[in-house]
Amino acid sequence: MKKVKSELPISYITIKTTKSRINKGLLAIPMSLIDLFPKNTNKIFLVNDNGQIERKTFTPYNSSSRECRIGGLREFYKNHSIVDGEELVIQLLDNDKFRILPEKLFQHLLKTKRADFEQSISEDEAERNLTDISRFVNLTQAQILKNEFIFRSKQEINERKFIEKNKTKVRENVPCSIRKILLELYSGRCQVTDFTFLTESYEPYFDVHHIEPKKGNHFKNLLVVSPNTHARFTHCILEQNFDKEGWLRKVKFNDEEFKIFQIIDKLNIDFKKEVHF
């Protein structure tokens, strides 16, 4: 087994196929993964591409063959044109249900679902798209939002876009997906003063401040702030101190200095793909 950097905001597991197993319609489970699988059954359940559950033959490691393997995959291999050395993503959905997908299909589907989430135009739509991702990768919504924050924080900071509004160009707003991520991570509390308050719907109220107005919606360029703090960024004599990675660490309004709370300090920043042979 080896670990390599994941291109997606998720850590996941793959198994490399071999020509001999493909020809037999089998998937051999490496010793490094046998703890994920049942010990004493001859059937397991796979969730197919359409979300339907299929029973497959299963040989546990403690059988006479001394090999843990899943059978009945000829049609799966044929439908997806699986070739020697191709990697399959394997997901444990619960105690006895698994999903197996070609890695290229897994990546395509997840990228599509993430794009839908990023382009959500309302809170309700963002919630639906987030739920879709959660079901697909079998992670909680909270973990997905943390992963998105970490992943996007590593990307380049682009210029903030303009949109036409009543034939007047105005700078784009913060997307619903980003507000949802920030709400999850900061609970609406100001990164400068730790202040927040609840609206009449019992939701934390917060503004999102662009540190550099011309730069885009990158987490290094955004702060969760209270309305009062937001106004101080606009109207006070302002001094800002950034670290070498571009995160704002201190701010001074007139002569009053504050430390900035950055959640990135408390998050694991590595996503790995485990490739099993």
* Residue range 129-162, pLDDT digits in tens: 999 999 999 999 999 999 999 999 999 998 887 7
Q: What percent of the chain stands above pLDDT 70?
A: 95
Same domain for 187 and 100: no
Same domain for 98 and 14: yes
CA distances from residue 252 to 49, 135, 194 in whole angstroms, order as listed? 54, 44, 16
pLDDT in tens, 206-216: 999 999 998 98
- Confidence category of residue 38, pLDDT binned at 50, 70, 90: confident
Same domain for 111 and 59: no
Q: How many CA atoms lie within 13 A of 252 on its CB side?
A: 9
- For residue 57, the enclosing domain spans 2-105
- The answer to whether residue 226 is domain-embedded is yes
Same domain for 117 and 96: no
Same domain for 256 and 202: yes
Model pTM?
A: 0.85
Write down the pLDDT at residue 36.
Answer: 85
- The answer to whether residue 274 is domain-embedded is no
Say which CATH number the domain at 29 has.
2.40.330.10
- The answer to whether residue 88 is domain-embedded is yes
What are the DSSP calls for 126-174, one per residue?
HHHHHHHHHHHHT--HHHHHHHHHHHHHTSPPPBPPEEEETTEEEEPPP
- The answer to whether residue 149 is domain-embedded is no
Tell me which of 18-32, 69-83, 139-153, 166-180 is least confident: 166-180
Burial of residue 225, with CB atoms counted within 10 A of its CB: 0-12 exposed, 13-18 middle, 19 or more buried: buried
Q: Which of 40, 17, 21 is nearest to 96 (CA)?
A: 40
Same domain for 166 and 262: yes
- The answer to whether residue 259 is domain-embedded is yes
Phi, psi of 45 (to 5 degrees): -115, 125
